[in-house]
Amino acid sequence: LLGLFEPAMAIVDNELLAPFQETLARHGVAGVVVPLTGGPAPAGWVLFDDFIRDMPQTEPCVAVHGDDIWQIIPTSGTTSMPKGVMMSHQFAYLSAYSHALGHSRGLRWEADLRLCCLLPTIYHAADTSHSFPAYLCGGTFILGRKAGPREVAELVSRERVTALWGGSSQFLAEVVRAIEAEPSSVPLPVTAMFSCSKA
């Protein structure tokens, strides 16, 4: 991915930076560290607070068209080879609106949507369909870091999740088994999304 996209910089939390710092350096990539567990920034990197300290708090004065590409998402897609998918503003909105309709069904108010994902959202089109609906509804997007069946079940309960992006159907089945093991403590979400895959 680094060779294909040639990024100018990276924004990485300090827990994830350590195992990849050598690879990033080999490709000439440095950037911003989000210090989740504290500590200084490595040489050539900047702490997030320092990076944003002098940034303007006003919107830039630019004209944006719906067909303008605002994001190129790296994805493996159907070929398992890295590629970039261009996302326009219109696509992002339409994808988010179409998913928000299903996610908010059964809720009293759209703003009650509490959408949860413990799987990578930025690596594929789930970035728009599985996070943006919460923003459009005025709801809440809950982004986890580690996906295990028990962890997902506990997060669903603790955060009162109403919609869950579960990844593969096999993983979602494991989550359901974890929920069924303690049904009184884990309310089921209103909706659950998964990707169909061959066994």
pLDDT-wise least confident of 23-32, 36-45, 46-55, 70-79: 70-79
- HSE of 21 in the Cβ direction (CA atoms, 13 Å)? 14
- Segment 185-194 shows an average pLDDT of 70
Residues in the chain: 199
Tell me how far apart the alpha carbons of residues 175 and 151 are, in angstroms, rounded to a whole number: 9
Q: The whole model's pTM is what?
A: 0.79
Per the prediction, the chain carries an average pLDDT of: 85
Residue type, 9: M
Closest CA to 175 of 191, 156, 161, 195: 156
CA pseudo-torsion sign 125, 76, 155, 191: positive
Q: State the helix-helix crossing angle for 169-181 and 149-158, rounded to 10 degrees.
A: 60
The tens digit of pLDDT for each residue in 116-175 reads: 888 777 766 677 888 899 999 999 999 877 778 888 888 888 898 999 888 788 888 898
pLDDT at residue number 186: 63
Give the pLDDT confidence score for residue 198 in this predicted structure: 46
Query: Using 50, 70 and 90 to split pLDDT, how confident is the model at 199?
Result: very low
Question: Three-state SS across the chain?
Answer: CHHHHCCCCEEEEHHHHHHHHHHHHHCCCCEEEECCCCCCCCCCCEEHHHHHCCCCCCCCCCCCCCCCEEEEEEECCCCCCCEEEEEEHHHHHHHHHHHHHHHCCCCCCHHHCEEEECCCCCCCCHHHHCCHHHHHHCCEEEECCCCCHHHHHHHHHHCCCCEEEEEEHHHHHHHHHHHHHCCCCCCCCCEEEEECCCC
